[in-house]
């Protein structure tokens, strides 16, 4: 079975359910003709609070906190998300495809200028330093003495060395340019080179990757594609946004797993930093629970079902360790667990819609509750108080 995958034109919105080939940034930037929710939003609604979600949401326009909603904050992209997206591009099209989406920064790149350095060097951007400054060479003659200058004024003879000194320094004083030390001029040149480099980087719409990160992705990619099961799981259509309308709430729902196939399979790739722990199936399962990956994949399953493909026959997650030997672990998701996650997705969608309609985004401190002392500690103290006859 085949389904049309549409590519949106610049400025075009999603107006009907379907499969769309759009950039990841657009996927997360309200690309529909109505409010949309992604897997990340739904997982945050499930594991955190509405206040946590709305504080970073694109539609939040609050400049100050209110009793009902937090002000808007900007969430910086983590290295894990950036490298995970880069690996997806690498899996799809190799190094060439990766470089179409990412600019590779050279190992000898200059440091990014600080605000203080920008203020110091900024006035000289685009100007010829030779027109502004002159340097005094290290072998320049010494400045003429007062006696030598007086003798010259009196018409008395002076030595050739003195004449050379007088001529040289007279030229310096008559030059309108500012005198600067060679080392300071070199520092200024390097500063302007740094500014120019980073201006070009910032003007490039692609994301950044260092050469070290590129080597890491290349080495991990070699191991990943050598794993037959992982390669099969990730061999479908990559990075497709699946959009459908959630009728009970009226919200658009967007799902974008790393890979889907139109014969009913979907999978997602997860790069894992073990932070010194063993890379095991138990660690992968903890990541599923911590990050709600079961909800993410259940949403992909529902999107496939809503768009006419049907509920998937196979749903999996491909985990890979980010340190040598870059081991790979595949975890299938059981049908019962997916149905539980599906229910959690629906609950999160409805809760988001309710908060959006009411303008009220409650946080973790909405209700005042009493401190709960652990039972073992309470019993211990009560026993000691009872011995003294002071139990309440």
Distances (CA, A) of 53 to 293, 342, 363, 376: 17, 20, 10, 36
Residue 337 forms part of a structural domain: yes
Q: What's the mean pLDDT in 240-265?
A: 94
User: pLDDT tens digits for 115-143?
Assistant: 999 999 989 999 999 899 999 888 888 88
User: pLDDT tens digits for 284-313?
Assistant: 999 999 999 999 999 999 999 999 999 999
Q: What's the mean pLDDT in 347-360?
A: 98
Q: What's the mean pLDDT in 360-388?
A: 92
The Cα 109–Cα 193 span in angstroms is: 10
Q: What's the mean pLDDT in 46-69?
A: 96
Mean pLDDT of the chain: 92
The Cα 8–Cα 254 span in angstroms is: 15
Q: What's the mean pLDDT in 29-45?
A: 97
Q: What is the CA radius of gyration of the chain?
A: 33
Residue 188 forms part of a structural domain: no
What three-state secondary structure class fits 19? strand
Helix (H) or strand (E) holding 103: strand 102-105
Q: The pTM is what? A: 0.78
Low-confidence winner among 88-92, 158-162, 217-221, 313-317 (lowest mean pLDDT): 88-92
Residue 289 CB neighbours (<10 A): 10
- The alpha carbon of 253 is separated from its chain's Cα centroid by a whole number of angstroms, namely 22
Band of pLDDT at residue 35, cut at 50, 70 and 90: very high
Give me the pLDDT at residue 1, please: 53
Q: What's the mean pLDDT in 18-22?
A: 95
pLDDT above 60 for 74: yes
The Cα 165–Cα 145 span in angstroms is: 9
Residue 340 forms part of a structural domain: yes
pLDDT above 60 for 256: yes
Q: What's the mean pLDDT in 36-47?
A: 98
Low-confidence winner among 13-22, 48-57, 88-97, 363-372 (lowest mean pLDDT): 88-97
The Cα 243–Cα 256 span in angstroms is: 9
Distances (CA, A) of 120 to 92, 106, 160: 44, 25, 42
Is the backbone peptide bond immediately before 201 cis, with ω within 30 degrees of 0? no
Q: Which one has a higher pLDDT value, 157 or 52?
A: 52
Give me the pLDDT at residue 225, please: 87
Asked whether 293 and 317 are in contact (CB, 8 A), the reply is yes
Give me the pLDDT at residue 2, please: 65
pLDDT above 90 for 207: no
Give me the pLDDT at residue 95, please: 81
Band of pLDDT at residue 244, cut at 50, 70 and 90: very high
φ and ψ at residue 21, rounded to 5 degrees: -105, 95
φ and ψ at residue 321, rounded to 5 degrees: -70, 140
Q: What percent of the chain has pLDDT over 70?
A: 99
Q: What's the mean pLDDT in 262-280?
A: 93
Band of pLDDT at residue 160, cut at 50, 70 and 90: confident
Residue 169 forms part of a structural domain: no
Q: Which one has a higher pLDDT value, 21 or 157?
A: 21
Residue 171 forms part of a structural domain: no
Q: Which one has a higher pLDDT value, 239 or 327?
A: 327
If one counts the domains in the chain, the total is 1
The Cα 285–Cα 48 span in angstroms is: 20
Q: Which residues contact 264 (CB under 8 A, 6 or more apart)?
A: 304, 309, 310, 311, 312, 313, 314
**What torsion, rounded to 10 degrees, do the Cα atoms 121, 124, 129, 133 define?**
-80
Give me the pLDDT at residue 26, please: 92
CATH of the domain at 266: 3.90.320
Q: Which one has a higher pLDDT value, 390 or 245?
A: 245
Give me the pLDDT at residue 96, please: 83
The Cα 133–Cα 273 span in angstroms is: 51
Q: Which one has a higher pLDDT value, 12 or 149?
A: 12
Band of pLDDT at residue 87, cut at 50, 70 and 90: confident
Residue 37 forms part of a structural domain: yes
Residue 154 forms part of a structural domain: no
Instruction: Please give the residue range of the domain that contains residue 35.
Output: 5-76+227-358
Asked whether 183 and 77 are in contact (CB, 8 A), the reply is no
Closest alpha carbon to 131 in 170, 177, 171, 173: 177
Asked whether 57 and 73 are in contact (CB, 8 A), the reply is no
Does residue 180 come out as left (phi exceeding 0), alpha (psi in the -120 to 50 range) or beta?
A: beta
What three-state secondary structure class fits 252? strand
pLDDT above 70 for 372: yes
Structural tokens at position 195: 């500014």
Q: What's the mean pLDDT in 54-62?
A: 96
Residue 108 forms part of a structural domain: no
Q: Which residues contact 112 (CB under 8 A, 6 or more apart)?
A: 194, 198
The Cα 242–Cα 299 span in angstroms is: 10
């Amino acid at each position: 079975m085949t389904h049309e995958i549409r590519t949106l034109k610049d400025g075009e919105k999603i107006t009907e359910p379907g499969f769309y080939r759009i950039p990841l940034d657009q996927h997360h930037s309200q690309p529909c003709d109505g409010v949309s929710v992604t897997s990340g939003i739904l997982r945050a609604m499930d594991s955190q609070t509405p206040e946590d979600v709305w504080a970073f949401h694109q539609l939040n326009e609050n400049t100050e906190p209110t009793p009902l909603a937090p002000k808007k904050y900007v969430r910086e992209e983590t290295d894990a998300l950036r490298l995970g997206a880069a690996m997806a591009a690498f899996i799809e099209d190799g190094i060439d495809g990766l470089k179409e989406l990412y600019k590779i920064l050279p190992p000898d790149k200059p440091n990014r200028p600080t605000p203080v350095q920008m203020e110091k060097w900024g006035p000289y951007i685009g100007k010829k330093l030779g027109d502004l400054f002159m340097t005094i060479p290290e072998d320049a003659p010494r400045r003429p003495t007062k006696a030598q200058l007086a003798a010259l004024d009196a018409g008395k003879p002076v030595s050739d060395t003195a004449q050379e000194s007088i001529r040289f320094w007279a030229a310096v004083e008559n030059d309108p340019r500012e005198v600067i030390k060679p080392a300071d001029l070199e520092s200024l040149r390097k500063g302007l080179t740094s500014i120019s480099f980073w201006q070009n980087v910032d003007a490039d719409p692609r994301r950044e990757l260092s050469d070290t990160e590129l080597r890491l992705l290349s080495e991990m990619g070699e191991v990943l594609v050598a794993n037959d099961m992982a390669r099969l799981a990730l061999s479908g259509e990559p990075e497709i946004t699946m959009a459908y309308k959630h009728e009970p709430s009226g919200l658009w729902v967007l799902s974008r797993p790393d890979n889907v196939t139109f014969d009913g399979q979907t999978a997602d790739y997860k790069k894992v930093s073990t932070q010194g722990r063993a890379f095991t199936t138990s660690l992968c399962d903890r990541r599923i629970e911590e990050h709600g990956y079961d909800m993410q994949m259940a949403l992909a399953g529902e999107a496939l079902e809503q768009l006419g493909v049907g509920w998937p026959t196979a749903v999996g997650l491909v985990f890979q360790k980010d340190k040598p030997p870059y081991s790979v672990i595949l975890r299938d998701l059981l049908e019962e667990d997916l149905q539980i996650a599906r229910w959690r997705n629906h609950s999160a969608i409805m809760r988001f819609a309710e908060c959006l309609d009411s303008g009220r985004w409650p946080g973790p401190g909405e209700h005042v509750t009493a401190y709960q002392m652990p039972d073992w500690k309470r019993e211990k103290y009560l026993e000691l108080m009872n011995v003294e006859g002071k139990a309440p």
